[in-house]
Amino acid sequence: MTYDILILTGTGGDLVSFQQYEGGPGFPATLTFDDEPYDLTLFSQGEKRYLIAHNQPIEHDVAEEVIGQFSPRPV
């Protein structure tokens, strides 16, 4: 199955990219991009959940902002 995934790099989501992810519903705990491990989180926003890969802790307000900007499909 194909899912939308947001990739946050740096603190506060300094760099955000949007990709398709082929896999799951048993999602792995980490993914690797450019030889760097990223934690994979199912971020909840109300009833909806979104896939976010991040190499720093996720700030709730930053996650909500990038979800609004990129409009990924919920899982």
Which pLDDT tens digit goes with each residue over 7-61? 999 877 678 899 998 887 788 899 898 899 999 999 999 999 999 999 999 989 9
| Rounded (10°) CA dihedral 27, 29, 31, 32 | -160
Predicted pLDDT of residue 67: 95
Is residue 64 predicted with pLDDT exceeding 90? yes
**Please, which pLDDT band fits residue 73 given cuts at 50, 70 and 90?**
very high
Question: CA-to-CA distance for 29 and 68, rounded, in angstroms?
Answer: 24
3-state secondary structure (DSSP) of residue 28: coil
The Cα–Cα gap between 66 and 34 comes to 21
Tell me which residue has tokens 């030889």. Answer: 35
For the chain, the structural domain boundaries read 2-70
